[in-house]
Structure 1
Amino acid sequence: MSTASIAVRRSSSPWVVYSIILLAMFIAQLGSGLKNALTPTIVSAFGQTVESGVWLNLSMGIVATCFVPIAGKLSDIYGRKYVAAIGVSLAAVGLVTVAVSRDYAGAIGGYTMMGLVAAALLPAGPAFAAVRIPESSRGRAMGMYPLVTLPGTILGPLVGGMITDAYSWQMVMYVAAVACLIAAAIALFFMEGPATRLQAKIDWVGVVCIVFTVSCLLVVANRGQVLGLANLWTWLLIAGVVVGGMVTVLVEKGKPHAILDISFIASREFLVPVLIMLGCYTIIGSTNYVATFFVAGVIHGNATMTGTVVMALFLPFAILSPFGGVLADRFGAKNITTVGVLIALVGLFSLTRVSSTTSLVELDIYVAIQGLGLGIFFPGILRIALSKAKRGKAEGAAGTFAMFKDVNGPMAVAMYGTWFGVLTASLTPGVLMARATELGVGKDIVDRIGTVGLKDPTVSQALTSLGIKAQELQAYATANAMPNAMSTVMWAQTALAAVALLLCIFVLPNPARAKSKAESDLVAQADS
């Protein structure tokens, strides 16, 4: 074989391996996504309450978030193919466990194992692209990542619902388990094995610190508003986050084989992109949550109409990401990241203008503008964050980035969702009083509505005597208070996006100049 043909084979092989990694990720995400819409069905099947349902997703989220950097470190040591195959296989076991469980505790245990899908596979794609894809094409590679992972997440619930309607929710779990096993087989037989094993030990103290800190953070984010500030557990969890975070930094700092590379995290190339990413992913979590309640409470839409908001956010995100990657390669990752944040900022500002007359089409357009901007933004920010990752630490760096990204969603929903609910509740009495006055209710009853609400017997009797239904009056008041509450939340989000934009313009570093194709081929040959 000629030297030229060897060079061609070597320069093209990273794309083949990367495509195999993405295929495994797509199948695993599709399998995992099949059960995403089944939480109410499973909760009902085990005779649990709506409040108890949070423990299914919370247990899975804790494992997914905590073990992403840990799986990345294990991949650095033992090789990504083995970690991915074992993790996804264990997730398949978890799916079967849920299907055959006879009690709710068993179902929660099965869901916990499902979190290994994200933990085992998420670092593999970006980490491989960061060190093996030629630098001149690295943005395009990063852009393929959400294009592959998001459709599985979007299509999974739809297919899972259809299987449930035709057969049962247990059948969904079995189908998802088969999908995960296929992904594990692809990883085991087609992904690259490690050329040499990294001589390093697992930092078990760091593992315990990360698991403890992130677990406390996710539990307090999800359950804090239910427990309340007066509850001792709330303050114990907050203390766990603060103390655990400080201990984690002290334990990991300076360790040669730390789970979290503190020196890398503290670098400008990683820290600034992560701060910008946290702001933008806060937008995703809060917009997704608040807009769906707007559809239900103001537009009075059904579940399908609510689903269009989610689709409007994530479809442009998935479709535009490859183009964002190409543009990042052509015009610079920093420039394209800045443009993406600016477009998302325009979408957020549009949402500050919502009112009770805003239609579903208008809302979908505003949300889609955000998705468009975030799709352009993501490949560039990911490329910059991993620009300094070395081959021996790439998986751990990508895992750390994914951990920061994934922990942000529950926090954003908890914070902005609670704020949105409090604002809506505080604005509703004023609307109730104004509407009751318009309907001819006496001033004394109007005043009582403002102080004790509609459930007071005196208020109920007065409204009934006038032929006014309290339930309809409450729905009217909520529908009119909610746009103002949403507008206030979106103004705060707009301010956050503006800060992210300023960071992009003035602080975000530029990665090194992309090498030419010839230079990239020479580098690939030298690395091999």
Structure 2
Amino acid sequence: MSEGSVSASKVRLLTAAILLGTFLVPVNSTMITVGLGTISHSFGETLAQTSWIITIYLIVMAATQPVAGKLGDIFGYKRMFLTGIALSLAGAVLCAFAFNLPSMIVFRSMQALGGALALPSGTALIRHAVPKEQMASVFGLFGLLMGLGAAVGPLAGSFLIEAWGWQAIFWINLPFLLASFLAALFVMPATPTRKTPVDLLGSLYLALGLSLIVLFITHAETIHWWSVLLLLGCLVLFFFREKGIPHPLIEFGLFRSRSYRSANLAVLTSNFIMYGTILVLPLLLQERGVDLRMIGTLMFVYSLAMSFSSWLGGQLSKKLGHAKMIGLAFGVQLLSALLYLGFAQQVAIWYIACALLIGGLGSGAGLPAMQTASLEAVSPEKTGVASGVFSTFRYMGSMVASALTSLMLGSLFYVMIGVAVAGMLLALQMKNADQQKALSPHEPA
């Protein structure tokens, strides 16, 4: 299907269907955090044991998205998107009926698998159905809703649990997922399928390797000499497996494109700064004795600024170009990281709010340009796997920040400064690649 072959009204309905379904991925990721205490009490488990409900969600989302993107390329994005929404719906219903912690972990895995299948196929469909000149704007709206979802999740979760119990945070998924499924079923165009074999062995190596990385980051007690060797073995086996088969799960040749490589590394570094801010600031402010409600308000300011700037970044990216927009975003993040250094002293609430406002603007502004640049750097038939890889890089940035937070809480802001500078250099690389492509349009940049 060629780009722009869908009418304007159907593009709007298609975009709404995709956004409605994928919006719940960050909501479900953050909403569960406020329910852990209630769920642990209900099941008679410790809070540490119940935290596996969050860990399993991260593992499944990180480990399966590259595979899910490839499946979309092979079997069609509409089919995989509908499958993902259906799995998310079934997982949410089963979570509401979970009778103990193991059953909750299994059903939560199903919910995460649904989100992992839907997300890359949804973004790939945007690439195929939305005209190129509108793509950055749509991804800006996509980033706006994803940011709002992460921000609204804990607030909505606390209200639902207080009113109807922890089961309500799963039941709330039903109307949104049903609407997304029905809209996608009737509006979403079919995309070409390819008779290409699925690399099951490579998928297993990659999924196990990424799962171990998440475990090492979230549960340090799982790090042993044998588990580290297992991780290295999985990664080595995956690399040589993919290099030696005709239809690899991830084509490493894609990373020869500077635009593609830089866009993926940019989202990793940007998410590192964003997630580091979300994790470190509440801890530092609690040490200062700041009221929890005030901390929640300040972090909501950050999330709201990030969501708004994501939409704005999508609009500006069309005028400035992807590379300039990404460079500008990292420049703003650099400014915010420098302002965060002031938190080492006793500073006023207005100073904290301003620093977080600037940080939120920088964290969201470049995301649509990164997503669009990543997809435009690959051929249309590889859009699914490119979307899955992009999502995995995004998750890896968040998880690295999570790991470093516990190791170097007091000095993480200095790391953020260095990462922001690295991001600006990546944007410069993208700009040079764009210029080279303009001079030699038939050569990969």
Partner of 2:280: 290
2:319 and 2:369 map into 1 onto residues whose CA distance is 11
Unpaired runs of 5+ residues, structure 2, are 439-445
SS in 1 for 2:343: coil
Judge which range, 75-84 or 30-39, deviates more: 30-39
The alignment status of 1:392 with 2:388, answered yes or no, reads: no
Partner of 1:269: 259
Partner of 2:352: 363
Partner of 1:406: 395
- Percent same amino acid among aligned pairs? 22
The alignment status of 1:236 with 2:259, answered yes or no, reads: no
Change (3 A) 1:308 1:253: farther
The alignment status of 1:492 with 2:415, answered yes or no, reads: yes
Partner of 2:206: 210
1:512 and 1:192 map into 2 onto residues whose CA distance is 34
Q: Deviations over 1:294-349 (max 9, x none)?
A: 121113322x2222233222211111112212211112111111111001100000
SS in 2 for 1:352: helix
For 2:58, give the aligned amino acid: G
Shift of 1:383: 1.8
Partner of 2:306: 317
Shift of 1:152: 2.5
Unpaired runs of 5+ residues, structure 1, are 1-6, 421-484, 516-528
1:511 and 1:12 map into 2 onto residues whose CA distance is 32
Partner of 2:120: 123
2:426 and 2:111 map into 1 onto residues whose CA distance is 36
Partner of 2:442: none
Task: Please tell me whether the aligned partners of residues 298 and 356 of structure 1 are also in contact (alpha carbons under 8 angstroms).
Answer: no
Judge which range, 343-352 or 500-509, deviates more: 500-509
Partner of 1:251: 241
Judge which range, 375-384 or 117-126, deviates more: 117-126
TM-score, length-normalised on structure 1? 0.76
The alignment status of 1:73 with 2:70, answered yes or no, reads: yes
Shift of 1:501: 1.4
For 2:163, give the aligned amino acid: A
Alignment equivalent of 1:106, drawn from 85, 103, 107? 103
1:414 and 1:164 map into 2 onto residues whose CA distance is 29
For 2:261, give the aligned amino acid: L
Partner of 1:479: none
Task: Please tell me whether the aligned partners of residues 220 and 237 of structure 1 are also in contact (alpha carbons under 8 angstroms).
Answer: no
Partner of 1:83: 80
Q: Deviations over 1:239-296 (max 9, x none)?
A: 2332222221211125343221211134322212222221221111111111010121
Partner of 1:349: 338
SS in 2 for 1:23: helix
The alignment status of 1:199 with 2:195, answered yes or no, reads: yes
The alignment status of 1:152 with 2:141, answered yes or no, reads: no
2:5 and 2:252 map into 1 onto residues whose CA distance is 38
SS in 1 for 2:46: coil
1:291 and 1:31 map into 2 onto residues whose CA distance is 22
Cα RMSD of the aligned pairs, angstroms, is 2.6
Change (3 A) 1:396 1:208: same
Larger Rg: 1
TM-score, length-normalised on structure 2? 0.90
Q: How many residues align?
A: 435
Change (3 A) 1:32 1:498: closer
Q: Deviations over 1:173-212 (max 9, x none)?
A: 2232443333333333332223x42111111011101111
1:418 and 1:306 map into 2 onto residues whose CA distance is 22
Change (3 A) 1:270 1:8: closer
Task: Please tell me whether the aligned partners of residues 21 and 191 of structure 1 are also in contact (alpha carbons under 8 angstroms).
Answer: no
